[in-house]
Amino acid sequence: MSLPGLAAADCGLRGIRTVQGMTHALSARQPVNTATVPHRSPFRYPGGKTWLVPQVRRWMDSRPTKPQVFVEPFAGGGSIGLTVAAENLAERVVLCELDPNVAGVWQVLIHGDAEALARKIEQFQISRENVIAELNRKRRSPVNRAFQTILRNRVQRGGVMAPGAGLMRAGENGKGVASRWYPSTLARRIRDLQTYRARIEFIHGDGFDVIESYKNDPEAVFFIDPPYTAGGKRAGSRLYEQSAIDHVRLFELSASCAGDVLLTYDNAPEVLELARSAGFATKPIAMRSTHNAEMSELLIGRDLSWVA
């Protein structure tokens, strides 16, 4: 299948849920207030999915049994997979990321010396001069490389880590590079993650390969949130170094999975056609952009009856 702008080679939810003593009403027509959702990732991702957490909880609750494995093949900031692991919504979670810098952080957080990374974040004295000096250093140890990636993610404009992104200047309230640098909060998230990281496996690799390895397992569920480069969108290519995605192949592969699948995509005509051709249902869901503008994304899956 060939669609304009899609190069195969490169390319109101109702109900109540109580979590940690708080009750949240869910609505697909109103953006979720992310201040009511636990933030677990140390990354500041422009395409992050913290706003989707309440809906993912409902998706998991709608299933007759707890999944044996929850697969997130394009992890990025990993907020959904971390939530599933922290709240024990699946027996285990598999996160996969291709980008070597982002993957380096996950390797330390899940399989390495996360406490050393937390201490390094706490001890760093934030200033424009110190940031430039740190980002120009040649780092060799996994912890130091992970620290540089988190620092870059936090001090560059919009959290963009792709080549060419510049440092924040004025930032929030004129704080410049310190605007998004919350060392105590970041260290706490890293230490909290250690209490449930035994339920998580991280793979540095291609998300397509990970889907292939689990696609015949009926006890596996897949949350698929690829870089948004479908329909000629440039957001994914601006944000991430590893953004070339064969969207046609991804939909075909997702449709072949024995287990349940939930995809999130930009609400674009080309995506709707891909979903239709793969036999998936679609529903738009309200969200807010990083600039606080109301917009919608698409939830895509075989059965979206849990979305009211």
Question: In this predicted structure, what is the pLDDT of residue 139?
Answer: 76
Q: In which element (H, E) is residue 17 found? A: strand 16-19
Question: In this predicted structure, what is the pLDDT of residue 92?
Answer: 98
The strand pair at 220-224 and 281-288 is best described as unpaired
Question: In this predicted structure, what is the pLDDT of residue 48?
Answer: 75
Percent of the chain with pLDDT over 90: 60
pTM over 0.75: yes
Question: In this predicted structure, what is the pLDDT of residue 245?
Answer: 83
> If you count them, how many residues does the chain have?
308
pLDDT at 256 over 90: yes
Of residues 58, 88, 103, 298, the one with CA closest to residue 204: 103
pLDDT at 160 over 80: no
Q: Helix, strand, coil: what percent of the chain each, to 5?
A: 40, 20, 40
**Stretch among 6-10, 80-84, 264-268 having the lowest mean pLDDT:** 6-10
CB-CB contact of 208 with 253 (8 Å): yes
Query: What sign for the dihedral angle of Cα 210, 212, 214, 215?
Result: positive
* Candidate ranges 131-140, 153-162, 202-211; pick with highest mean pLDDT: 202-211
Domains by residue range for the chain, with CATH? 1-98+205-308 (3.40.50.150), 114-195 (no CATH)
Question: Mean pLDDT over all residues of the chain?
Answer: 81
The residue assigned the tokens 């907020």 is 79
What are 98-150's pLDDT values in tens digits? 999 999 999 999 999 999 999 999 999 999 899 999 999 987 899 999 999 99
Region 206-214 average pLDDT: 98
Task: Please report which confidence band the pLDDT of residue 243 belongs to, taking 50, 70 and 90 as the band edges.
Answer: very low
The strand pair at 294-301 and 220-224 is best described as unpaired
Of residues 234, 243, 258, 221, the one with CA closest to residue 97: 243
Task: Please report which confidence band the pLDDT of residue 229 belongs to, taking 50, 70 and 90 as the band edges.
Answer: very low
Region 258-266 average pLDDT: 96
Question: In this predicted structure, what is the pLDDT of residue 162?
Answer: 56
CB-CB contact of 13 with 27 (8 Å): yes
CA gap 295, 70 in Å, rounded: 27
